[in-house]
Structure formats: structure tokens, C-alpha cells
Structure 1
Amino acid sequence: MAAYRTTDTLKLVPSPVHSSIDSELPAQLSAAGFEWPGGRGVSDIDLQVRRGETVTLLGPNGAGKSTILKMLSGEIAPQRGGVAIFGSPHGAAARRQIGLVLQEPSTDDLMTVQETLLLHGRLFGLPRVELSRRCDDILSALDIADRAGDRCETLSGGLRRRLDIARALLHDPELLLLDEPTLALDPESSAAIWYSLQRRAAAGVAIVVCSNDTAEAEANADRVVIISDGRVLADDTPQHLTSALKHDALELDWPSPSDHELSTLASWDGVGAIASHDGALHLTVDSSAEIVPLLFQHFGSRISGIRIRESSLRDAWFQIVGLPLDEHPTQQAAARERPEGVQQQ
């Protein structure tokens, strides 16, 4: 994790170490760790997911979110610590209780939407009449019933994603694991997916979502687990994570502010937490209308740019990790590796 300095400290609630297995919990990781070849992985992950709860694992690509999801799904086993699904180790019974949505679409282009769901339902042993009813209900709920007879190759990215969700929901799992389910989707597709997920959560289904979208996490998660460099840095409700922030957020282009300048800034009434990283200064304030004129009066020659907005979970991330989410080294590396020509659907 990059070095950073702050002049105020957010109150963070560390995740407790779970020494015993709770059979009532849909998912539980206890001091879990896994290391991939090359050294990247996760360490000392403690996580509890309760019934009816939506938990977002928030962090940049490469932070360890997908590794945690793979341990929960049973795709990989922790090399250290443990994992339990409804109090039991992974196995056939655990897998039947899980609905999994991977980051990349995994449908067969030559199969129709209906065929995709029917095959999945048969693999889970659903009776024919019940399977047909569930297919109709889920396709209608996700607003893709009119495409039931179309091949998957004809679907847009947003519709493919809805089909992935429909397939994961078909066997009525009690635990849903989703890796960036709305990545690069249009607002209509994202809203349809979250509406369906919220209905499941209201019915008691536990949901774990990997994301690097702070706005989506703040709007939909009951708990946000902030992950950086393979470790959990905070685990709390979005409301509590943002409670120490002031009303407005300022991002300043201000290379290498001195300790004296930071101390002066922190002494002003209405200024909250301050973080400095790589030529950028980030702070939250009671009123940007009052603080911005003071900034230019005292430090105008040092500031080359300023961005103002209402504070949010994005700012809590900056204060906790020490740099913006979109400037995290692993996020920048992932952006450089993204194939050209990828478009939103």
C-alpha cells in the first residue's frame, strides 16, 4: 500500500477474528489466505455474510476481491485459515446453495436464452414443470422474456449479463456471489439487475458483490468491505464509513504541500480529514463556498486545479487507503491491459 499522510483519522471498525464457525451464516471466512504464483493474493481475511445482507467487496482490479469470491464459491481452497458455507466445508451440498456470476459472460453463443436456462435447471435436478415456471418468472423479472427464443450470440452485453443473473437465480440459491455484475452496462440493465438482487435480498438471500464502483456500493450495499493489496482495511456500513466526512469534497492539484501548509489548512474551521498523494491533495469541508476562497487567498500560487463535489464513499476510500480508487496502481495496470475496442453495451 502506498505511503500517505493524514491530518485527521476516520474511525475504522476492524473486522473481528472469527474463531468459531456459525452454522447460521451463509458464508464465513476465518483468517483466510491464498497466494497466486507470482506473489499476489490475500491474507488474514475475516468475513461474515448474514442472511438478507448485501456485502460489497470494494477495491481496484488486482486488490484480491475475486480471490475472496473464488474461496467463497469453492473454486479455490484457502491455503491458510478456513471457509464455511452455512457452517459446513465446501462440497456438493454447499455448491447447490450458491448462485455464481463470473466477471466474464459464460453463455454458449449457439444456445438460445431458454435453452441456457433449461440446461442449468436440469443440472440442478429441477422438475420439468417447476423449471418451466421458474424460467418464465425469472425472464420476466429481468425483462428479457421477449428474447427467450434468441441465440445468445445476438444479445448485447447488458442482456447477456441479465441472462447470467437469471441462470444464477434459477435454482433458488441462498447465497449469491457476483463478480462485477454491472461492469460496463447501460443504466437500464444495471437498474434491472439491482432490482432483481434487492428482491432476493429482501427474501433472505445473502449477496456478495465484487465492485470498484463506489457510487454503486454506496447505493446498494448493506456493508462495504474495503480491500487493498490483499487485505481488508475497513468493514462497515456505507453510512458509517462516510459519517466522519464533511459535506463537500475538494480535490486539489497541489504538488508536495509542506507540513506547515497542511497544518495551517487543518487548523481552519470546517476542514475535515486531509490526505496527500502524488501531487493531489484531498479533503472534505463543511462548505466549499467558504473554504475555496481561503485556499486561493493563502495558497493560490501552489494550486493549479481544483474539483468540487458532494462527499461520498469515494472520499472515504481516499481517506482510508490514501489515494483515489482510480489512481490505485493495480487499477491503472488493469486499465493498461484492457483490450482496445471494448464498448459499453
Structure 2
Amino acid sequence: MSSSVHVDASGTFLTLVDGTSRPLRFHAVWLRDNALDDQTRAPGNGQRLITIGDIPADTRIATASVAAETLSVTFAPEDKTVAFPISWLVNNAYDRDKTAPLGWLAGNVTTWDGARTAPSFDWTAVQSSSSAKRDWLAAIAELGFAKLTAGPTTEGALIQVADQFGYVRETNYGRHFEVRTEVNPTNLAYTGLGLQAHTDNPYRDPVPSLQILYCLENSAEGGESIVVDGFRVAERLRADNPEGFALLSGYPARFEYKGTDGVWLRSRRPMIELSPDGQLIGIRFNNRSSAPFVDIPFDQMEAYYAAYRQMGSYIDDPDMGVAFKLEPGESFIVDNTRVLHARKGYSGAGSRWLQGCYADKDGLLSTLAVLSEFKEAAE
């Protein structure tokens, strides 16, 4: 079936029938704002060259036609004609059913529990092969974590991990930090104690969205790493206690860190973060850094704490966690806005030395998009 177009009598929108989906409507002002011509978009980088104020307030569609899978639209009062590929319009259509449930997930996200094994990729392959690097980054984007194996056991090797897709995010902990037993530590991470699964630095705005942990030595007994999918935890809570889910996503928790001189970090964000249209986009959970909750109404505080306890019980559920012991030269990345990480306690015998750093997910997703586009072009 060939594509066709109908312009509403008002000229404020058109309806496109492309034969592959139901009819799709597009407003005149949306089409004009997203015009693909080189007076509207900069050739090369595609950035918009006009402001909303440059578009006439009375913009309407004067004529529209379809030929060779291209929609041609002439706008009044500018008398400007612009061409749109039909495939581009279908991919960017907004005239769709938006009745997704509260806490819906993006289509490229797969949640998991303890039945999953840690996705693992070879250091040398990721360094030398664009397809291996793409697969590694795609696993992190989809699952929120992945391992690298057979890497060097040299200090600072974790920086090379971040260099594969972006940049290190420096914090008050430095460009990178050591995870090993210390005397009088400033953070419980630097002891041999076990740690409940948590997201890092919930007291920051924005939080570092990726964490890299790299193993240099690990001969101590115990100390296995555990990761838990916070999105699967949230799904489980929503199914079992929708009112509790609404409380933890509807009211901000507070987090605070004041461990060293000159540092006092505070944030006010919900434990389960949703976008304005209800998409599940983030988890903040860290018992060590929780400050007093003061933003929940008195008559809902007990229910809030009950939901908090229930969420914590799911996080602690052994069936929810994937456990693995890092060997020297191995590392893993977690999406710190989604995946919680924990550590089993370890003994003083032997040694355990990890280095950690933070990075940001936008760099990873940008690199993944470029590699994926290159693959599609090659195919």
C-alpha cells in the first residue's frame, strides 16, 4: 500500500497513512519546528538554527503531497516547502497511545534477578574490536552491568575502561579511589565489613551514573561482589504494593554525606524516580547515607516506612542478586542509577585491593549510538 496524506481543513495538522501503521497525525507547528532543510538544521551536526520565536504563530499547512516515500509540505504564511522521509516521520511519530502504566520501562531495558549470570567480555577484544565494544556497551545499556576479564593488573587500568566510551567524573574522592581495608576509614567501603546492596553517592545531584570497580588483588576469603537490579525490585514492589510504590516514587527521600573536612553533600530525591510521564528512570537506595525523611505527610509516614522496609527486603533477597568474585585483572561497570551493588564481608587474611572511579552514562550511550549507526551503515 502506497503512502498518502490528508490535510485538515484548518491547516493545523495533517494525517499520514503509510501502510505500515495506523494513520499518524502531525501538527503544522511540529513539522515546521522539525524541518530537515539546511536553513532550519545545520548541515553536519543537525543542530537547530531557528528559535521557536522564528516560527510564525499562525503557521499552517498550505499543501502536502507524497511521492517516492517522501512527504512534501508547504507552510503558510512563509511559503516554505520542506521534504520529510516517510520513515523518519514514522520513527518520530507522537500520535500514539500513551496509556503506559506508572513505572513503565524503556524498550531497550531488560530486568533480571539472581538467575542471570554476569555478562562478561574480554579486555583485549573490547580494546581492539568495534563490534566487541558495541556488544559490551549494549549489555550495560540493556542490563545495567557487565564484566571485563583478562585485563592488566596495573594501577590505574580502570581509567582505560572509562576511556573506551567517555570520561572519568572526578569527585571529592578523587579521580579514582582505593577500595581496601584502612585504619580509621572515612567510608565503610574501606573496611572488611559486608555492605548492603546500594547505589553510590545518592547525596549528589546529579549522581555519577556509572561506577567502575577494577580488581588488582583478591586473595582474601570472601569479598564477593553482588549486583541487584533496582528496576526489577521496583517492578516487584509495584506488583505487590502499588500504594507503597506510589509513596516511594511520589515523595523525596533525603541523603547526606559529611565525612571529611570541607565536604557536605545533600540531595532530595525519591528512592524510585519516575519521569513526568511515568517512566522508571532511577533508583537511589543507600542506608548509610540516608538523612531524616521530612517530606512525607504525617498520616503517610508509617506506610512510607513499610514500603521502604519492603523494598529493602527485596534488595536483600538472595534470589534477586547475582554474585561473582573478581579476580585480578577483572572489572565491572554498574549503571549507578539502576543497579545496586553489594559486597560480602572478607577476612583479614590475604589481600583485597580494588580501585574504583565514576563516569557518566551519556558518554557510554553516545559511543554505543555511534557504533550501532556504523554497524547499520555497514550492513
TM-score (norm 2): 0.20
Higher helix share: 1
Structure ID, larger Rg: 2
